[in-house]
């Protein structure tokens, strides 16, 4: 097992790309019905936070470190590169074998029959990530470094999650080292999906990647870490931030997308899921649909860079919530 753990120890996962099967709307469309829920209602992603949720004793220092890291590069929302393409497949989708690059039989067995479309394309960027979600079997597959070699699908690591609708929102038990991210928090967790955009509301926590996570320490719900920072003030992966519940978000001058994100951050929180080159949220990659609801003047970015929009986000009102911390080596 040392081989695949070593691979993940070197994985600094930028927010990763996923893809949908059908075109979605832009901000000018009429809001649709409620987006399909991923994971259990009481999972780490879907359970609303109580207003009196206890703060981490180091909340001030953790928020200060996040604000420092905002200055390491323009904050971003990954959508068409280093994000997440999600292939939502029907029950009769033909299956293929995806070969695992490292010798680990349990995960290879989980990939022996994957309903991966033949024309699927992993996300742009070096992580080459992709998610397959089959709601009819309540199963999700995710891949890191997915590519076709001589007509055969291969991936370096990832996972398969069964009973997704009952999942706590992360890999557990003997599968706690699975997953395309460095924390075993799945790519669908915290993703701003095209369904969220279509309903003009985000009813779940947000996933965040940061440039410098704490070495050896991680916080629940993360199951492991690839952090490198030796600073005791550094943010452990798995840290959950939330906007101060006393903040009146609707009184702020925010673009529609930023307002949606702020409401989600206040009600459900923001979970540090991975490392990246800059502070980055994860948005669903629309490439497979042939339409882009994010960019252009008619899109959610309003023809601006994501970093420009994120200047509006009320970063100074964040708090870090108390969590169980884990140490001291990569699991």
Q: What is the pLDDT of residues 177-220, one digit of tens each?
A: 999 999 999 999 999 999 999 999 999 999 999 999 999 999 99
How does pLDDT run across 291-305, given as a tens digit for each residue? Answer: 899 988 889 999 999
What is the β-pairing status of strands 280-282 and 206-210? Answer: antiparallel
More confident residue, 8 or 112: 112
Q: What contacts 109, CB < 8 A, 6 or more positions away?
A: none
18 has a pLDDT exceeding 80: no
264 has a pLDDT exceeding 70: yes
Q: If you compute the radius of gyration of the chain from its CA atoms, what whole number of angstroms results?
A: 19
230 has a pLDDT exceeding 90: yes
17 has a pLDDT exceeding 50: no
**Cβ 287 vs Cβ 21: under 8 Å:** no
**Cβ 322 vs Cβ 54: under 8 Å:** yes
> Which of 108, 102, 153 minimizes the C-alpha distance to 128?
153
The share of the chain scoring above pLDDT 70, in percent, equals 89
122 has a pLDDT exceeding 90: yes
In the chain, DSSP assigns E strands to: 76-78, 86-88, 98-100, 130-134, 139-144, 147-149, 152-155, 157-162, 206-210, 213-219, 235-237, 240-243, 270-275, 280-282, 318-320, 325-326
253 has a pLDDT exceeding 50: yes
Number of other residues whose CB lies within 10 A of the CB of residue 168: 14
In this prediction, residue 33 carries a pLDDT of 58
Q: What is the mean pLDDT of residues 108-117?
A: 98
258 has a pLDDT exceeding 80: yes
Mean pLDDT rounded to a whole number for the chain: 90
In this prediction, residue 288 carries a pLDDT of 82
Please tell me the distance from the alpha carbon of residue 188 to that of residue 201, in angstroms, as a whole number: 16
In this prediction, residue 297 carries a pLDDT of 86
In this prediction, residue 36 carries a pLDDT of 83
The share of the chain scoring above pLDDT 90, in percent, equals 84
Tokens of 71: 């200055």
Of the candidate ranges 206-220, 232-246, 287-301, 313-327, the one whose mean pLDDT is the lowest: 287-301
Please tell me the distance from the alpha carbon of residue 15 to that of residue 125, in angstroms, as a whole number: 10
Would you give the end-to-end CA distance of the chain in angstroms? 11
What is the β-pairing status of strands 213-219 and 235-237? Answer: parallel
Please state the pTM of the whole predicted model: 0.89
28 has a pLDDT exceeding 60: no
């Amino acid at each position: 097992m040392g081989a695949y753990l070593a691979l993940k120890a070197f994985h600094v996962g930028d927010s990763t790309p996923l893809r949908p099967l059908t075109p979605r709307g832009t901000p000018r469309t009429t809001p649709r019905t409620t987006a399909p829920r991923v994971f259990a209602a009481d999972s780490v992603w879907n359970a609303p936070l109580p207003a009196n949720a206890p703060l981490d004793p180091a909340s001030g220092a953790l928020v200060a470190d996040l604000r420092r890291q905002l200055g390491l590069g323009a904050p971003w929302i990954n959508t068409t590169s280093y994000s997440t393409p999600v292939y939502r497949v029907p029950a009769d989708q033909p299956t293929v074998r995806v070969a695992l690059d490292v010798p680990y039989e349990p995960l290879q067995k989980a990939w022996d029959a994957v309903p991966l479309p033949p024309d699927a394309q992993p996300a742009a960027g070096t992580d080459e990530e992709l998610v397959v979600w089959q709601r009819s079997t309540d199963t999700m597959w995710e891949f890191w470094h997915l590519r076709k070699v001589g007509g055969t699908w291969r991936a370096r690591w990832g996972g398969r999650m069964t009973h997704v609708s009952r999942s706590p929102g992360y890999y557990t038990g003997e599968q706690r080292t699975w997953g395309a991210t460095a924390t075993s928090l799945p790519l669908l967790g915290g993703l701003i999906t095209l369904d969220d955009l279509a309903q003009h509301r985000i009813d779940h926590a947000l996933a965040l990647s940061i440039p410098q996570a704490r070495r050896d320490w991680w916080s629940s719900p993360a199951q492991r870490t690839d952090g490198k920072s030796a600073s005791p003030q550094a943010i452990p992966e798995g840290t959950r931030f939330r906007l101060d519940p006393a903040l009146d978000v609707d009184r702020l001058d925010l673009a529609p997308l930023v307002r949606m994100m702020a409401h989600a951050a206040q009600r459900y929180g923001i979970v540090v899921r991975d490392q990246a080159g800059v502070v980055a949220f994860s948005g669903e990659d629309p490439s497979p649909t042939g339409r882009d609801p994010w960019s252009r003047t008619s899109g959610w970015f309003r023809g601006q860079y994501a970093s420009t929009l994120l200047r509006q986000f009320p970063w100074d009102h964040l708090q870090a919530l108390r969590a169980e911390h884990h140490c001291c080596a990569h699991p």
